[in-house]
Amino acid sequence: MSNIKTTCPYCGVGCGINAVITGDRKVEIKGDDAHPANFGRLCSKGTHVGETVGMDGRLLHPKLRQNNGQNNFDKQDDWQDIGWDAALCLMGEKFGQAIEKYGPDSVAFYVSGQILIEDYYLANKLMKGFIGSSNIDTNSRLCMASAVVAHNRAFGEDVVPVSYDDLEAAELIILVGSNTAWCHPVIWQRIEAARAKNGAKLVVIDPRRTETADCADLHIPICADGDAALFGALLYQMQQRGIINNEYLDNNVNTPDGFWDNLDGDISACDIDPDDFAKLTDMVAQYPKMVTLFSMGINQSKIGVDKGNAIINLHLAMGRIGQAGMGPFSMTGQPNAMGGREVGGLASTLAVHMGFSPEECKDAQDFWQSPTIATAPGLKAVDMFRAVHDGRIKALWVMGTNPAMSMPDSSFVREALAKCEFLVVSDCIEHTDTAQYAHVKLPALAWGEKAGMVTNSERVMSRQRALFPPPGQAKADWWAMAQLGIALGHEGAFSYDNAAQIFREYAAQTAFRNDGKRKLNLGQWAGISDIEYENWHPTKWGGASPFADGKYTHKDGKARLINIDIAASVAANPDYPLSLNTGRYRDQWHSMTRTGLSPTLSRHRAEPLVEIHGDDAKKYRLSDGDLARISTESGAAIFKVQVNDAQRKGDIFVPMHWTEQMGKGGLANMLPAQLFDPLSHQPAYKNSPAKIEKI
């Protein structure tokens, strides 16, 4: 029996796993005591990942659609097995023809926080350096693109300024828009252990009374999108009490004109109990060691960037950043969302935390020795699928994600995919909501087969390692991406022997002409050997806080306070009087392609429920177990009703996991509109105007 150290495939906590192979595709899973994210802990999803490594539903060969006609829901006869050579030849032909005839912006990659750093690096290099477009975006756009922009605005670079250890050193932990107990359970275990040991106070700011909120010293059931106003009012109160850190502001922070004049103590946009606000204000004033952890309730909003900056403003103005137990902390959703951001896998970043200034474009092109370089941001997720819909994008490669299910207004996205002239889908699962529209399906390696690096929410880089040999003709995503590069005529730049070679090149790019311009600098690992890469121990880049020295990435070395337009927080639609919120269940992950395979995990919640307050249930004549149709301007979906008073009156909540393939209704992402934050283009999943009726 061999014991292999690897990393959990699910959330951004990035827990280390000790995997003991016990037989043919059988594995025992334990937490890795030596991993700095979890020190041996695992949640239910990680503990039972061994139940999901079977071969059910796997895509094992490249497949070509035969009828090349309209969507026909993936009938088996419609697909022909083809070899990789034929698939790659066709892809080279179709992508090449589109680029030649319509230009580089006529093709796109839509990738995923599930793929590894090496996969991301090659996808970004190929699209931006060799095709010459920035049309590569990722499902991380749906997760924390607003935090990226908030970091860039405040710090000059998308850097997370804290570590998990800070949660254990804090006297006050504020969780905003985060059901941490369900969505980042090992962080929750660490918070609870620390509270038991040091008595730290916990505040939860969330419209829902979640399992997390139930454990808090103070729960503030704020109205959806009220957070920017709340943090603005908090900062105002701190200023009134004279506990702003003027020395830190003078030395380390640039304050825009009118910043303090724009603040006021008005909390009417938050719809909260003034007594709760007074308690929160006292706690913030009393406990300097304060971490504010925020997640999807902040980011998935029309004003997600401003909400993130309102939180960061408070920390900067009080000097509560860069020291143990202090800082604003954006938790990411996926195992490699951070790695993807760092590589440059968002359409809004060129590469390795660089933007699109002429100097940065030259640096990237010189490093890659590439024939061209993208010079402006590309199409971000929502706009990318709009461009597929209206025919501007002719060829699209979707890798490791299921946008037909996960994008907002998903019926529009399905129309777009059905119209796409040439769609390639790489996945380890044969039948997904997205793959049914593909012209070519490529068999990807699953967790337990693929190997490479991931970065978690606190900047720890860990290895995912292979436990089993590749099944069928499944291949690494980096290998498939490199082959397309070669098929497009770039053999010299895309011939790699292994993932270690790609990681070294990525590390070298972070250091290339960096000279202290960016905190992201992995140059010390640019020369590691294949053996050192294989034996890699989880390692954090940037130390406990990259801003411990008080120096930020903006050219003047200072951070920025950001003026926030609080008035923009209010939204109402009389035709759709309810506010619809979507989110996760504790034991499921994304579209359940993996967690749905575990009988143990499926016991927690077996079906998609709409949760509604008792007063609203009476008003709409709904009872527990009824079926109800939820409608928005974008679409409708059916859910079973659960009445509980954990929702605010006027709010309803549905889970995001169920897909068309499961045939149980609950297609949550039919409902949110294609609305997004204007700065980050992150969709607003959390506050959709909706109505509900019994059926």
| Interaction site with ligand SF4 (CB under 6 A) | 8, 10-11, 13-15, 38, 42-43, 45-46, 184-186
Question: Given the structure tokens 């337990």, which residue do they identify?
Answer: 448
Q: How far apart are CA 206 and CA 226, in angstroms?
A: 10
Nearer to ligand SF4, 15 or 453 (CB): 15
Nearer to ligand SF4, 43 or 223 (CB): 43
Nearer to ligand SF4, 336 or 687 (CB): 336
3-class SS at 464?
strand
3-class SS at 246?
helix
Contact between residue 81 and residue 61 where contact means Cβ atoms under 8 Å apart: yes
Contact between residue 608 and residue 665 where contact means Cβ atoms under 8 Å apart: yes
DSSP for 112-164? Answer: -TTS-HHHHHHHHIIIIIII----EEETTHHHHHHHHHHHHHHHSS------H
Please return the burial class of 497, using the count of CB atoms within 10 Å of its CB with bins 0-12, 13-18 and 19+.
Answer: exposed
Q: How far is the CB of 30 from ligand SF4 (least distance, A)?
A: 11
Q: Are strands 578-583 and 290-294 parallel, antiparallel or unpaired?
A: unpaired
Contacts of 657 (CB under 8 A, 6+ apart): 584, 585, 588, 589, 590, 591, 592, 608, 666, 668
CA distances to 104, 461, 494 from 89, rounded to whole Å, are 19, 35, 16
- Residue 512 DSSP one-character state: T
Contacts of 216 (CB under 8 A, 6+ apart): 175, 202, 203, 204
Q: How far is the CB of 41 from ligand SF4 (least distance, A)?
A: 7
Nearer to ligand SF4, 30 or 629 (CB): 30
Q: How far is the CB of 245 from ligand SF4 (least distance, A)?
A: 34
Closest of 689, 653, 648 to residue 271, by C-alpha: 648
Nearer to ligand SF4, 12 or 319 (CB): 12
Q: How far apart are CA 561 and CA 150, in angstroms?
A: 11
Taking each helix axis from N to C terminus, what angle separates 381-389 and 410-419, rounded to the nearest 10 degrees?
Answer: 50
Nearer to ligand SF4, 182 or 503 (CB): 182
**How many other β-carbons are positioned within 10 Å of the β-carbon of residue 556?**
9
- Residue 597 DSSP one-character state: G
Contact between residue 506 and residue 121 where contact means Cβ atoms under 8 Å apart: yes
Nearer to ligand SF4, 11 or 609 (CB): 11
Q: How far apart are CA 687 and CA 503, in angstroms?
A: 40
Q: How far is the CB of 337 from ligand SF4 (least distance, A)?
A: 12
Q: How far is the CB of 653 from ligand SF4 (least distance, A)?
A: 21
Phi then psi for residue 103, to 5 deg, are 95, 165
Nearer to ligand SF4, 293 or 673 (CB): 293
Nearer to ligand SF4, 42 or 263 (CB): 42
Amino acid at 204: V
Nearer to ligand SF4, 46 or 542 (CB): 46
Nearer to ligand SF4, 13 or 305 (CB): 13
Nearer to ligand SF4, 14 or 345 (CB): 14
Q: Which residue is nearest to ligand SF4 (CB)?
A: 46
Nearer to ligand SF4, 14 or 62 (CB): 14
List the beta bridge partners of residue 540: 460
Q: How far is the CB of 587 from ligand SF4 (least distance, A)?
A: 10
Q: How far is the CB of 440 from ligand SF4 (least distance, A)?
A: 31
Q: How far is the CB of 313 from ligand SF4 (least distance, A)?
A: 29
Degrees, nearest 5: CA angle 105-107-112: 115
Closest of 198, 122, 232 to residue 505, by C-alpha: 122
Nearer to ligand SF4, 46 or 308 (CB): 46
Phi then psi for residue 566, to 5 deg, are -65, -30
Q: How far is the CB of 15 from ligand SF4 (least distance, A)?
A: 3
Please return the burial class of 602, using the count of CB atoms within 10 Å of its CB with bins 0-12, 13-18 and 19+.
Answer: middle
3-class SS at 457?
coil
Q: How far apart are CA 289 and CA 200, in angstroms?
A: 10
Nearer to ligand SF4, 169 or 186 (CB): 186
